[in-house]
Amino acid sequence: MAYLFTSESVSEGHPDKVADQISDALIDNFIAFDKDSKVACETLVTTGQVVLAGEVKSSTYLDVQKIARETINKIGYTKGEYMFDGNSCGVLSAIHEQSDDINRGVDRANKEEQGAGDQGMMFGYATRETENFMPLALDLSHRILKELAELRRENKDITYLRPDSKSQVTIEYSDDNVPQRIDAIVVSTQHDEFDEDEAMLAKIRKDIVEILIPRVIAKIPEQIQVLFNDGITYHINPTGKFVIGGPHGDTGLTGRKIVVDTYGGKGAHGGGAFSGKDPSKVDRSAAYATRHIAKNLVAAGVADEILVQVSYAIGVVEPMGVFIDTYGTCPFNMTDGEIAEKVSKLFDLRPFAIEERLKLRAPMYSETAAYGHMGRENETVTKTFTQPNGESVTLDVELFTWEKLDYVDKVKKAFGL
């Protein structure tokens, strides 16, 4: 019997994502000037206020207020009428030195013996559903909001958009787990004031269905385009008016959108957030490493769908174990346990080895903090960072290194494919 599966996304202007972006902007600035910085930074945003809290060990000094304000303005909160804007909001910093008790389990004289920054389990997932090996419902949810943000910045075809928005896509699958059609799409977008609520709702619905969705469809592969049909149920701003939004409408916190950040409910999640953490925290680095493993295994033909789990103990170098679930999609005679054993030998999952393999000691994290950490484009960009004393550094930074298919040949050789 066919079944439905749903995933959601939230925009860069969602209050939780505002918090994530501020935390990751701080990470990037610390690492840009001291690549060995240890940072765990949480952000809270609410009406007219930002609170920064966390632990840092770094040789550099930053103007954290300036970084927070620049991030907020870049997102689009630039008007007083939003009741939260980068130029006028208060920014309170409660960042202090990292605990020596934690640090002694991480830092070692020999960097290769670096221990895990915390205990826990991390998951990576990949599927053949899409070209970027991501679950389709989440991929489409992200695409809808990225395109909506483009329309907002263009301020041409739709001129009333504000930064906060959410999307949700429901896909109908066949018995053999193949997407058949899109059943429903939900879009809620913050907007300017209208004179009449009823006219406002009609206008927003028309623009979303007739302007936004066609732009999304035009940018996706043909095999996905055919899933869009006249039978889709649209829920556009289903509660009605959405003028009050962003941190004024709802308090935002770092790390509160972890399923949006990963696989939209497909696969699994270990529970640890990513944003605000330097790569010595395996919540982040090992989640990227397991995605890298899962994607390369699927691309190499080991299975059509794969979940990878790795687990750690704080201060311990070697992982506790590696688990693989191919959901019965492995085309050759090998158990999931046998696959896990090969993976353990092929991929070095010690924390420092992960940092080195994925080049994680670089200011690459701001780009991860909205529209998902997985399924993104691996590219190199040039970034410039400036300290309060005027010293600046310009770096070429490779983004989303865990999305590279650089182990496919190695996997094929190891598995005899």
Binding residues for Mg(2+): 16
DSSP string, 208-234: IIIIIHHHHHHTS-HHHHTT--TT-EE
Whether the CA torsion 246, 247, 251, 257 is positive or negative: it is positive
Residues that constitute the known binding site for L-methionine: 55, 98, 250, 281
* Contact by Cβ (8 Å): 112, 349: no
Burial class (CB in 10 A: 0-12, 13-18, 19+), 34: middle
Paired residues of 277 in beta bridges: 40
| Beta carbons within 8 Å of 397's beta carbon, 6+ residues apart | 362, 363, 364, 380, 381, 382, 383
Q: Hey, how many other C-beta atoms are within 10 angstroms of the C-beta on 210?
A: 10
Tokens of 296: 């390369």
Q: Retrieve residue 188's tokens.
A: 């809620």
Beta-strand (E) ranges in 143-288? 161-173, 179-191, 233-236, 252-253
Q: What are phi and psi of 306, to 5 degrees?
A: -140, 135
What distance in Å separates the CA atoms of residue 275 and residue 17, rounded to the nearest whole number?
A: 10
Q: Is 356 exposed, middle or buried (0-12, 13-18, 19+ CB in 10 A)?
A: middle
Mark residue 177 as left, alpha or beta (left: phi above 0; alpha: psi -120 to 50; beta: remaining): left
CB neighbours (10 Å) of residue 105? Answer: 16
The binding site consists of 14, 16, 42, 55, 98, 164-166, 241-242, 250, 256-257, 273, 277, 281
Which amino acids are annotated as binding site for ATP, given as ranges?
Answer: 14, 164-166, 241-242, 250, 256-257, 273, 277
Q: How far apart are the first and last CA of the chain?
A: 33
Rounded CA-CA distance 161/5 in Å is 29
The one-letter code for the residue type at 33 is F
CA distance 413 to 104: 39
Q: Show binding-site residues for K(+).
A: 42
